[in-house]
Structure 1
């Protein structure tokens, strides 16, 4: 049994016994692991926000309050990924926004690795599209072509495709210039309620090799941009 499955099983074991506490030794024997492993797992559940608690002394042990948790719900990987994306893209100013973000983190933590990676990519894309649709500032976590990570606030102007990749074209407040960010290199995208300034997509691109990029159908044609070529990696990796 891998750790993710064991964490779920631990919760269900505690739920089944509630309100009676279970000792670490009993749980370790049940799952055939060391007591230290069970202790770490229980602490991880507490850190994740589950109502797991420990009582010391005679008759003590670990227990969970079943009234404050949901019973297990069987989602397919696709359903869980869709929920992760929707929750992660929740507007920070919306009711229950903080709860939505932690719920997205919990779902992502138990998805298969490949599905979780797809869900993260879709969540980043959803956050970018939300910022474009609402005209709001986006907080990006980005890894450039050399693997250097950075965090910055950007004002999105549009999406373009070039060389088989999608790019977010935005005004970067850190560099005080137009920049292109490859969507598959965005490692985090958090919406903010702050309005973005108006930016002309063509103006941000003018004079760069990105002029040959193809805009999606939803964007206005860039008639004045005629220079061929793909996006210039030096100018569009957030450096």
Structure 2
């Protein structure tokens, strides 16, 4: 690694660790250089305006202040390639389109040289899958209101169709997404049934975020078990 690459990598290492300090000795081992070289690099970064300061003491070290203005993230060609490969594992999930959008944003801010190198490296990667493996299903369309309500912690009003096609209107306190090789579900507390339920995303006819905040409940995703490739909520509760 040349010095310019090491300086970028040092910033990213400290950024990832913040607010915890990193000692010069640990950084020297990480980048396989001497402690003196790391100290010179850190001094150069400080002089260029990167908000790095030293914390004294046995557990001290160098800390990067993420609250101040920092240069943009430096994405290496290998990191961009890893994102592109990882994107393939999201096929058939509710997040495939978002992952593609995120990758495009990453590529858009990369310098041309690194972007070209990433494209070349990605072109040399092939994923091996069994010849009989079926193509991944298209991911369920997740209404924007559903995702936003989950992020903001707001109650959802769903129009939801059961297995027989009957549509009911339910106020649901969203908890998270569950899924895998089979179907994907919105897990949450159903006020109509007064119990935790899993709502298949492909049966959600509409979703509206309400102004009401989700109250705190003693219910978490870790309490949900699996049955085959489907997900079932909490003990006797039934997936609708």
**TM-score class normalised by the smaller sequence:** 0.3 to 0.5
- Structure showing the higher helix proportion among its residues: 1
